[in-house]
Structure 1
Amino acid sequence: MAGIEKLLHRVSPSVRALSAYDSSRPRRRIKLDGNESPFSLSGELRSEIARVAENLPLNRYPDPNCEWLKKAVSERTGTDSSGIVFGNGSDELIQILIAAFCGESETVLVPAPTFSMYALTAQVLGKKVVKENLTPDFDINPEAMLAAMNAHNPDIVFLASPNSPTGNLLSPGKVEAVIAGAPGIVVVDEAYFSFCGKTHVALMKKYENLAVMRTFSKIGFAALRLGALFMNPELAAQAEKVRLPYNINSFTQAAARVFFENPGVFEENINIIKSEREKMFQTLGSIDAIKVFPSAANFFLIQFNGAKTAGEVHRALIEKDILTRNFPDTDMADCLRVTIGLPEENREFEESLRAIISGL
């Protein structure tokens, strides 16, 4: 039998050079780190899901094509059902896109900062990653992006709008300039669409190289792991070749019906989050020694400029049983990302943050 060192030597160099994405977090009473919805499902909706689950034929594979779900999503978004691809969360869709469409230059172009899974997944699959910095207000620099596309001929460009972890919408005209100038596919990740209502779906009729991603994770179904990709049907057919069979389990498909049959419940929760977003922006903006960036999503990016560092504040909040997202050993080490929680959680966070910064 080969020794462990010999076996480890067989790990691809691109994987050996990486650090695993760390989604583990300490458990705390107030969880403001994951950009999930703070609202649990009501007892009525839980009972409805339980009723549906009770009748699932667990001895059978799930619907491989998610036919009911595809029809429901198509009707709600006004997109062609033959151009919809489902993934086990957006993470799998990112993997599918890179595996299917990164075959000419084997290069992915991403702005910086943005969602880390675009670059990480590309590197895992042995692709080259090119990063182009956003402007100081976190918008696209179209001239720089076009120059990068001319220099590197990327197969895929990933853009997130609203962007994560910054929270801002990218300028629509600048996004379109990138789509128009891209040699390959441009993926616009609209994970936070529900909190801003701004979409690029209509541009798909004008640009065949545009794909749009959405997720159920931010509106109350993070545990289901369900993402949707909208793209040209001919391109979707290629993506389907690398999608694993039965990737969306029967329970997820059945539970997703609850959303489509009870949209008002989720829309009410989204409106509460949007209202809290306005309150928090005003309150946090009055605290000295921090900068709060405007957000069109369900979270805020906060930069620390005073005596307290982001790391110190992060640890102090944990001691107060409040968990936020920090970015150690990155260009954003002076920032925290804070998910908008329940109203009472937000008030406690604001008070705790003010006390920590004041040294109370």
Structure 2
Amino acid sequence: MSTPLDNALNCLRDDVRAMHAYQVHSAAGLLKLDAMENPYRLPQELQQALGERLGQVAINRYPAERVQDLARALAAHARMPADKGLMLGNGSDELISLLAMAICKPGATVLAPVPGFVMYELSARYQGLRFVGVPLTADFELDESAMLAAIARDQPALIYLAYPNNPTANLWDPATIERIVQAAPGLVVMDEAYQPFASRDAMDLLARYPQVLVMRTMSKFGLAGVRIGYLMGDAELVHQIDKLRPPYNISVLNAEAGLFALEHADVYERQAAELRHERAQLQSALAGLPGVQVFPSEGNMILIRVPEANALHADLKSRGVLVKNVSGMHALLAGCLRLTVGTPEENAAMLAALQGALGSA
């Protein structure tokens, strides 16, 4: 006999009940190098200034003008062309969900290279959309012929190109990307979550192609806890997608923290420069470890291939270091771990743990 809980659960979609939720693993007591966060906090004097400023925010009122101030400040920071539009999201994840809602028509398809950011597929499936993943080449480059064939066959309403890609951390060939944009029958979203660490961006494509949207986040900038993402593109296109945005999706505290960070963008740029330097040092050190294959990186993460990735991941965790085991995400990632670039001290500790784990294997 059905219980009230059974009846309630039966009201939910079958495909939702069959899905696995996005998992965030506990890092309590561990050196946390699994989520590509900026490891640096603000200097003490700026922490105090931010605290005083947030204390003056009218949290008894709904968000209003300050959120628009943040949108304008982000447009200026990104050097967005004046004829484009910008919308804000509660992190990039909300924007990805809103994009899926915006194109949700019968038979619509979302396409992206794989392996890639898992939320592209999850958000598509949440809306009942078809998702097509096109495998990268063995060295994690775009398979141009396969991408163009999939575009011609499936006519996707939305294509995601992460630039740099997650979890492989590489930038793809600009000429290949442009040919994909030219072939696209719908939207092309250039996801630039890791732009602070990359040597180039897609703003030129944004300026020249009305179907191109550029998505960025303040998370990798250094505000992962603040949850601010933004989407730039053709003003009319952004206006239509913005209709789906929940009212007041950016809190007054988050907006004020974002504005404060942009006013001190030089501090965050110095942090990004330090992380780029540490990335190069870390790549060199990793290449000297036995049995470790290191892949090129344009993000604040490094993908490596190791013998026995599952065992090594567990060994590192037992030594107090948490990295991301991506070896089961896709066949192309077999044997791979993804390491976040941390402070010099964190990177040294991770290397020592890796050396110990490899030595005991």
TM-score range, shorter chain: over 0.9
Residue in 2 that maps onto 1:48: 49
In the TM superposition, what is the alpha-carbon distance from 1:3 to its structure 2 partner? 2.7
Residue in 1 that maps onto 2:213: 211
- The one-letter code matched in structure 1 to 2:25 is S
Residue in 2 that maps onto 1:253: 255
In the TM superposition, what is the alpha-carbon distance from 1:283 to its structure 2 partner? 0.7
Which segment is superposed worse, 6-15 or 132-141?
A: 6-15
Which segment is superposed worse, 181-190 or 51-60?
A: 51-60
For each residue in 1:126-169, what CA deviation from the matched residue of structure 2 results, as whole angstroms up to 9, or x when unmatched? Answer: 11111100111111112111111111111100110100000000
Q: Secondary structure at the match of 2:225?
A: helix
- The one-letter code matched in structure 2 to 1:322 is V
Change (3 A) 1:136 1:296: same
Which segment is superposed worse, 315-324 or 19-28?
A: 19-28
Residue in 1 that maps onto 2:145: 143
Residue in 1 that maps onto 2:228: 226
Given the two structures, how large is their TM-score scaled by the length of structure 1? 0.95
Residue in 1 that maps onto 2:340: 339
**Residues 306-321 of structure 1: matches in 2 within 5 Å?**
306=307, 309-321=308-320
Q: Secondary structure at the match of 2:272?
A: helix
Residue in 1 that maps onto 2:192: 190
Q: Secondary structure at the match of 1:110?
A: strand
For each residue in 1:191-212, what CA deviation from the matched residue of structure 2 results, as whole angstroms up to 9, or x when unmatched? Answer: 0111014111121222111001
Does the 8 Å contact 1:70/1:81 carry over to 2? Answer: no
Residue in 1 that maps onto 2:323: 324
Residue in 1 that maps onto 2:101: 99
Residue in 1 that maps onto 2:71: 70
In the TM superposition, what is the alpha-carbon distance from 1:16 to its structure 2 partner? 2.2
Q: Secondary structure at the match of 2:204?
A: helix
In the TM superposition, what is the alpha-carbon distance from 1:170 to its structure 2 partner? 1.2
Does the 8 Å contact 1:156/1:187 carry over to 2? Answer: yes
Provide the rounded CA distance (Å) in 2 between the counterparts of 1:236 and 1:77.
Answer: 16
Q: Secondary structure at the match of 1:67?
A: helix
- The one-letter code matched in structure 2 to 1:169 is L
Provide the rounded CA distance (Å) in 1 between the counterparts of 2:172 and 2:235.
Answer: 26
Residue in 1 that maps onto 2:167: 165
RMSD: 1.7
Which segment is superposed worse, 78-87 or 348-357?
A: 78-87
Does the 8 Å contact 1:32/1:322 carry over to 2? Answer: yes
Provide the rounded CA distance (Å) in 2 between the counterparts of 1:43 and 1:65.
Answer: 25
Residue in 1 that maps onto 2:274: 272
Change (3 A) 1:51 1:65: closer
**Residues 17-32 of structure 1: matches in 2 within 5 Å?**
17-32=18-33
In the TM superposition, what is the alpha-carbon distance from 1:351 to its structure 2 partner? 1.7
Runs of 4 or more, structure 1, over 3 Å off, are none
Provide the rounded CA distance (Å) in 2 between the counterparts of 1:208 and 1:143.
Answer: 24
Residue in 2 that maps onto 1:124: 126
In the TM superposition, what is the alpha-carbon distance from 1:330 to its structure 2 partner? 2.9
In the TM superposition, what is the alpha-carbon distance from 1:299 to its structure 2 partner? 0.6
Does the 8 Å contact 1:103/1:155 carry over to 2? Answer: no
Provide the rounded CA distance (Å) in 1 between the counterparts of 2:232 and 2:39.
Answer: 27
- The one-letter code matched in structure 2 to 1:11 is L
| 1:84 aligned residue (83, 86, 102) | 86
Given the two structures, how large is their TM-score scaled by the length of structure 2? 0.95
Over the matched positions of the two proteins, sequence identity in percent amounts to: 35
Residue segments in structure 2 that go unaligned for 5+ positions in a row: none
Residue in 2 that maps onto 1:14: 15
Residue segments in structure 1 that go unaligned for 5+ positions in a row: none
- What is the aligned residue count? 357
Which segment is superposed worse, 156-165 or 37-46?
A: 37-46
In the TM superposition, what is the alpha-carbon distance from 1:327 to its structure 2 partner? 2.7
- The one-letter code matched in structure 2 to 1:280 is L
In the TM superposition, what is the alpha-carbon distance from 1:104 to its structure 2 partner? 5.8
For each residue in 1:245-303, what CA deviation from the matched residue of structure 2 results, as whole angstroms up to 9, or x when unmatched? Answer: 00000001101122221111111111110111111111100111121111000010111
- The one-letter code matched in structure 1 to 2:130 is K
Q: Secondary structure at the match of 1:27?
A: coil
- The one-letter code matched in structure 1 to 2:36 is N
Does the 8 Å contact 2:30/2:317 carry over to 1? Answer: no
2:177 paired with 1:178? no
Q: Secondary structure at the match of 2:243?
A: helix
Q: Secondary structure at the match of 1:237?
A: helix
Provide the rounded CA distance (Å) in 2 between the counterparts of 1:277 and 1:210.
Answer: 30
